[in-house]
């Protein structure tokens, strides 16, 4: 695994002592760590393309953790977030989780719970990135289809038989079969079920 691919735990907390202790803990567990004093420093300096997650304090100067979460959503920065707070209220926890946070831990944070939460967040990030890559790959393949091939596969995917498709498009059944075969080869699918799954990743059916 290259350095670029190695997951990074970002820590955003204005409490320097707490931040240092987390860096020590995580580096001892062989994680790559980046620490930031506040949300602004994080936004200005982090490389969001790197995989990993964000360990984020709620109460900070300049911008709160919840405000940063909302801004990340607007900017489409999709790093999973584990919140920490010494003043966690129910409405705060609900807000964070409702808007996609992976977990919400109260200070002082149990080290085992912290490591479990961060591992889960990193796994979620890996799943999200794999899904995004699959969608891009499928979109690139789908873009290779002609307009007619797209029409045919979309009708196949909703369960229409070749003869019905031929009548609807005003072409011969043999032509439908040819378009269908060529399209499936381009998409790398072998069955109607595989075709439906492929198109579902692109939200076409």
Q: Write out pLDDT tens, residues 83-128.
A: 999 876 788 888 899 999 999 999 899 999 999 999 999 999 999 9
Q: Which CATH number fits the domain that encloses residue 77?
A: 3.40.50.2300
Same domain, 126 and 150: no
Reading the block at residue 137, the tokens are: 């790959």
pLDDT per position as a tens digit, 118-170:
999 999 999 999 999 999 999 999 999 999 999 999 999 999 999 999 999 99
For CA atoms 119, 121, 127, 129, give the dihedral sign: negative
SS3 content of the chain, % helix, strand, coil (to 5): 55, 10, 30
Number of domain units in the chain? 2
Owning domain of residue 98:
8-131
Same domain, 28 and 122: yes
Q: Which CATH number fits the domain that encloses residue 153?
A: 1.10.10.10
DSSP state, residue 109: P
> How much is the pTM?
0.81
139 falls within a domain: no
Same domain, 151 and 123: no
């Amino acid at each position: 695994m290259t350095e670029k691919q190695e997951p990074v735990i970002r820590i955003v907390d204005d409490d320097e002592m707490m931040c240092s202790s987390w860096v020590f803990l995580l580096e001892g567990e062989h994680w790559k760590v980046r620490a930031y004093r506040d949300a602004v420093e994080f936004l200005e300096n982090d490389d969001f393309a790197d995989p990993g997650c964000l360990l984020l304090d709620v109460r900070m100067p300049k911008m709160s953790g919840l405000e940063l979460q909302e801004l990340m959503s607007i900017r489409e920065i999709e790093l999973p977030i584990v919140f920490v707070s010494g003043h966690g209220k129910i409405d705060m926890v609900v807000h964070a989780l409702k808007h996609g946070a992976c977990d919400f831990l109260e200070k002082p944070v149990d080290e085992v719970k912290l490591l479990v939460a961060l591992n889960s967040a990193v796994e979620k990030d890996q799943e999200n990135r794999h899904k995004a890559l699959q969608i891009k790959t499928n979109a690139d393949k789908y873009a290779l289809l002609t307009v007619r091939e797209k029409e045919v596969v979309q009708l196949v995917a909703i369960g229409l038989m070749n003869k019905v498709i031929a009548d609807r498009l005003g072409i011969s059944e043999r032509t439908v079969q040819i378009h269908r075969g060529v399209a499936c080869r381009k998409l790398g699918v072998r069955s109607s079920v595989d075709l439906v799954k492929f198109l579902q990743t692109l939200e076409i059916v």
